[in-house]
């Protein structure tokens, strides 16, 4: 009975930026929980590689891929229409695509500021709006926006990233204000420091690694698997009355000084 609440078998899920990293882990987790998954990314070869790998695991009829740029309104509309037409009614959207750009603010170009805002924040509006246009008439849908501990906390050199992830919190609330009554649940997941290939150099850096361990009550790095369970919860009927929340999956980092 309780397990049924988490069953997402056959539900169509689109995960943006899922050709690698956290998005790919979420896509794999949703597929393992039974969803029909559409992968997305920019690099066509990398995307096809990711599709083939998950299709080998879950079947060609369960894993699809569509290349589109999440910052381009026309490409987004075309991409979501393709999902609806070729795969099925979109029930779960994970707005995960994102970029980082590290430079002190005094040296930050407005072009880079806008590129990060567009990729991390405007994209969630564009893909979310397009998905909601299909979900609202059906009276159901789940949108999960990927935030960050930088939704709450700032660090030097990542101003546009911090601003974009703070924006994700209030975009999640704005979507909730407008669409929750239509049967949609919109929430955000805010991952903490996650041990991936990309962060291996930080794990190997003794000073940084001990700073992370000391700064994290759970005294460890997160793994991509740590994100999967909360993603399945927020994608399933188990979270039917969870609206507009940011769930921090950070080992407690944002709860302590
Ligand atoms: P990666 O850099 O590993 O992957 C980014 C993904 O986004 C890739 O699939 C990339 O596609 C895609 N992408 C980038 N720009 C676009 C675009 N314009 N249109 C379509 N797809 C695009 O990122 P992470 O896995 O590290 O991060 C994923 C999300 O999680 C981000 O929102 C990030 O801010 C957030 N996050 C990450 C943390 C971490 O520790 N890594 C911690 C907290 C939050 P392609 O491969 O084609 O470039």
Radius of gyration (C-alpha) of the chain in whole angstroms: 18
Domain annotation covers residue 13:
yes
Helix (H) or strand (E) segment spanning residue 3: none
pLDDT of 218 reads: 98
Specify the residue for token string 């309780």: 2
Cα of 80 from ligand 1 centre, angstroms: 19
Note the pLDDT of residue 199. 84
Per DSSP, the residues of 142-153 read EEEEE--GGGT-
Residue 22 beta carbon below 6 angstroms from any ligand 1 atom: yes
Range of the domain at 145: 3-194+227-248
39 falls within a domain: yes
Nearest CA to ligand 1 atom 32: 98
Domain count of the chain?
1
Determine which one of 161, 179, 233, 248 is catalytic: 161
Ligand 1 centroid vs 1 CA: distance in angstroms?
A: 35
Give domain status of residue 51, yes or no.
yes
Cα–Cα dist 172/243, whole Å: 9
204 burial via Cβ count (<10 Å: 0-12, 13-18, 19+): exposed
Residue 256 lies in a domain: no
Sheet with strand 184-191: strands edge to edge: 63-65, 36-39, 12-15, 90-95, 141-146, 184-191, 246-249
- Tokens of residue 254, six digits: 């944002």
Residue 232's nearest CA partner among 32, 20, 17 is 32
Of 79, 94, 97, which is best to mutate to test ligand 1, by the most ligand atoms within 8 angstroms of its C-beta? 97
**Exposure string (b/e) for 150-173, b if CB count within 10 Å is 16 or more?**
bbbeeeeebbbbbbbbbbbbebbb
pTM score above 0.85: yes
Between the CA of 4 and the centroid of ligand 1 the distance, in Å, is: 31
What per-residue confidence (pLDDT) applies to 2? 73
In this prediction, residue 38 carries a pLDDT of: 99
pLDDT tens track for 82-131: 999 999 999 999 999 999 999 999 999 999 999 999 999 999 999 999 99
Angstrom distance (rounded) from CA 51 to CA 19: 8
Domain annotation covers residue 253: no
In a domain, 204, yes or no: no
CATH code (residue 169): 3.40.50.720
Indicate if 161 belongs to the active site: yes
Q: Establish if 95 belongs to a structural domain.
A: yes
Q: At what angle do helices 123-138 and 159-179 cross, to 10 degrees?
A: 20
DSSP state of 84: I
pLDDT of residue 1: 58
Res 227: pLDDT? 97
Which parts of the chain sit beneath pLDDT 70?
Answer: 1
Residue 84 lies in a domain: yes
């Amino acid at each position: 009975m309780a397990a049924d609440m988490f069953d997402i078998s056959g539900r169509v899920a689109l995960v943006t930026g899922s050709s690698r990293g956290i998005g790919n882990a979420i896509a794999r987790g949703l597929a393992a929980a039974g969803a029909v998954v559409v992968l997305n990314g920019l690099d066509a070869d990398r995307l096809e590689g990711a599709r083939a790998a998950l299709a080998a695991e879950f079947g060609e009829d369960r894993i699809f891929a569509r290349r589109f740029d999440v910052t381009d309104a026309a490409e987004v509309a075309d991409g979501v229409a393709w999902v609806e037409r070729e795969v099925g009614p979109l029930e779960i959207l994970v707005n995960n695509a994102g970029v980082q750009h590290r430079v002190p603010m005094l040296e930050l170009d407005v072009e880079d500021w806008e590129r990060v805002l567009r990729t991390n924040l405007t994209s969630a509006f564009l893909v979310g709006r397009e998905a909601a246009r299909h979900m609202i008439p059906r009276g159901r849908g789940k949108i999960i926006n990927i935030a960050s501990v930088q939704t709450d906390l700032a660090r030097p050199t990542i101003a546009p990233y911090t601003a974009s992830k703070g924006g994700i919190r209030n975009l999640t609330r704005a979507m909730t204000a407008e669409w929750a009554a239509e049967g949609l649940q919109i929430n955000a997941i805010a991952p903490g420091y996650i041990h991936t290939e990309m962060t291996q150099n930080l794990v190997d850096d003794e000073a940084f690694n001990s700073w992370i361990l000391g700064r994290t009550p759970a005294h460890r790095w997160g793994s991509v698997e740590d994100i999967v369970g909360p993603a399945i919860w927020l994608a399933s009927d188990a979270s039917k009355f969870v609206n507009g929340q940011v769930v921090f999956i950070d080992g407690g980092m944002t709860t302590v000084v």
